[in-house]
Every structure is written in C-alpha cells, then in structure tokens.
Homo-oligomer: A and B are copies of this chain.
C-alpha cells in the first residue's frame, strides 16, 4: 500500500476515490472493487465483488472519471487498466445494475446525442466501415472462428453441440425457414466467407448469387467454391447489396443488417421486395435490441464503425412500407451468448499468435469486445432476431412450422 493511501486509511478516501464512489452510486452500485494507482481500494458496497479493476496510472484514472464507459475500454486496451476476474462477468454486472434500477432518462439523452452523431452508410463509407473490421485478414479470423468461418450467431439444437455443428445447424435452420427447393434461385446480401451460400447450393440444389464488399472474404469464398466444385452454381459478387439486380425465390442476409444503418432500412425493404418473386421468401438474421438504443460508443469507434442495432419496431421500417408480410420472428439471444463463449475461449487459445499478427493492445481490445458482447447477450442487452418475410399476396405458405423440426 502506498503512503498516500495509508495516510487516508481509516479516515476515508482520496478525492478521486470519492469521485469514483459517487460514480458507482450513479451506476446503481455494481459489485466491483477498484484499486487506484495509490493502492486505495474503492467499492460501492459491502458485497463480495465479482471482479477487481486495477487502474495502473493517474492518467487512466482521470480519464475514467471523465468518461467511464468509453475510457474503461480505452484504458483496458492500452494496458493501463487490468481486470482480476472474468471480464464478461464484470461487464454483465454493470448491465444488470443499469436494467434492474431502470435508466430511462439517461437512455433518452443517449439516444438524442446518438441520433445527432449517427453517420450514414453511403456506398463509400460502407466500404470503409466494412474493411475496418472484416479485412483484418482471413488468417486472423481462421485462428479462432470454427472451421466453417461463420462469424454470426450459431444455432444450438442442444447445448452439447460443438460450435461447428451449431453453425452448420444454423445454416440448415435458415434454409428450412426459406423452404428452399431444388432448382430455385437465392440471393445473399453480405455473405461473409461464403459458407452459407455453398451449403445452400450443395445441400438444397439451389443457385446462389452472394454479395459482399469485403475483398478478403470474397477472394476466400471464390476459392472455396472452386475447391468444392460449386463455382457453376454459386456466384460471389464483390459489390454492395444495393446493387443487387434480378428476381429470386429467396433473399437471405445473415449478420449484415447491423451494418446497413437504420436510415437505410426502407431502401433495403424495397430491394428485398423487388428481388423476390411473387412466392419468394426473405430472411434477415440480425443482432437486435428490445428497444431503440445507440450502440456502445467505444464499439462503434474501435470495433464496428457505422454499425447500428435495431429494435423490432425499427426493423419494421424494412417491411411495413414495402408490402412485406412478417411470417416468423425467432429470438435466438442465448445462442449468441453460447457462440461468444466458444469464440472467447478459442481467441484466448490463439492470443499469442494474434499478438504476433497485431500487438498486445489489439488482443486486449478484442478480448474486451468479445467479453462485452457475451455479457450483452446473457443480460438481454442485445437480442438475436431471425425474421422471415414474404410478399403480401403470397398464399403458398406452409400451415405450420413443423417442417423446421420434424426431420
């Protein structure tokens, strides 16, 4: 214990310690212990802390007090803040405190400032935003994603499934929802490394045109199509989804909507409508929220520039102006929490190689992002929606959803 801390010992806290106490009170007293650079220990209550947060220098502490959510992440990334305990459980504690005590006023203010700041995803900025994240290199993602290179929520038909099996199960769940029949045509918006497109073509006998603006991913997908002998039935197009042309029996988009931007939803809906035949089906798989709320500022700055996570009401602006009937909405929230636990474990297993590719700060930044996302799905801060739609006039519909399960 340093002398400064010792001198204040029993009598109370330093000025910064008192500020931090006040902040924790405002945050509804999360069960977390902070260790300040002086060695001073600060908690908001007497409960056993879920984790310790060690702030290693005065600069990090000052910044944390000024802008806590954002600067915690920046300080953790820089190595100026260390966590003793499970990072994801720590973040979960903050989420739970916020929800259990309600925070509607702060929420409204956040939304207001977010609406003013929201950046649009024009064709050019979209390209920049996508490159920022998805072009970190296929070698990087291959280190910790499952062998299908699926970077979206898996579907665990049982908790015993491996991540790889659950990712494959997700592809079949999507295909069954779309009721794909041999000879039909499918367009995919935002195809990642292409595994869904290849699976649909191979196992359901459909033709697929798959769009993506990530150069690295498209190159990898084309190679995989060629290796699988599917390059005559799957076309990977390096282009923005807004340039999709033609009519298809199915439109599918898994994990792209997060990057579309809410202001662009009606335009996306027009595209879905005009891309579908009169009996066509469309499926959008996306992270969602229970109510409108801006994406965490740090995540938007460091991880997903341009990303926006919609509520179902916000998603409705895709469908409602465009005579699209919503047939089915399924919330797979907990599946994403499980998916993220797999990713966190394999990311930690690969951290030395990731550090060689980038640096230690990058490892910490991504560790924090994955831990925070797991906490968000465990606490209901985030949801995962699969929404199935069809043109309003389509009466070629199954009576029940049994076909998804009776296999």
Compute how far the CA of A404 lies from the CA of B402 in the bound complex, rounded to whole angstroms. 8
Near B by CB (< 8 A), chain A positions 225-273 give none
Q: 1/0 per residue A309-334: CB within 8 Å of B? A: 00111001101110111111111011
Q: Is the CB of B329 within 8 A of A333?
A: no
Task: Tell whether, in the assembled complex, residue A319 and residue B290 are in contact, meaning their CB atoms are under 8 Å apart.
Answer: yes
Is A399 interfacial (CB 8 A cutoff)?
Answer: yes
Of the residues B99, B158, B316, B331, contact of A312 by C-beta under 8 Å? B316
B334 touches A397 (CB 8 A): yes
Residues of B within 8 A of A404 (CB): 401, 405
Q: What 0/1 pattern do residues 143 to 187 of A give for CB contact below 8 A with B?
A: 000000000000111110000000000000000000000000000
| Residue A335 lies at the interface, judged by CB distance under 8 Å to chain B | yes
Which residue of chain B has the shortest Cβ distance to A392 in the bound complex?
A: B380
A207 interfacial by beta-carbon distance below 8 Å? no
Which B residues are CB-close (under 8 A) to A333? 325, 397
CB closest residue in chain B, given A378? B395
A320 and B290: CB pair below 8 A?
yes
**Cβ contact within 8 Å between B335 and A320:** no
Asked if A136 lies at the interface with its beta carbon under 8 angstroms from chain B, I say no
A328-B329 contact in complex given A316-B312, A399-B157, C-beta closer than 8 Å: yes
Q: Specify which chain B residues have a CB less than 8 angstroms from the CB of A394 in the assembled complex.
A: 380
Could you tell me if B291 and A321 are in contact, using CB atoms closer than 8 angstroms? yes
Q: Which residues of B contact A328 (CB under 8 A)?
A: 329-331
Q: Which of A381-407 contact B (CB under 8 A)?
A: 383, 385, 392-395, 397, 399-402, 404-406
Enumerate 15 A-B pairs (CB-CB under 8 Å) in ascending A order.
Answer: A99-B392, A159-B399, A291-B321, A312-B326, A313-B313, A313-B316, A326-B329, A327-B330, A334-B399, A335-B399, A378-B395, A380-B392, A380-B394, A401-B401, A404-B405
Chain A residues close to B by CB (< 8 Å): 96, 99-100, 155-159, 290-292, 311-313, 316-317, 319-321, 323-331, 333-335, 378-380, 383, 385, 392-395, 397, 399-402, 404-406
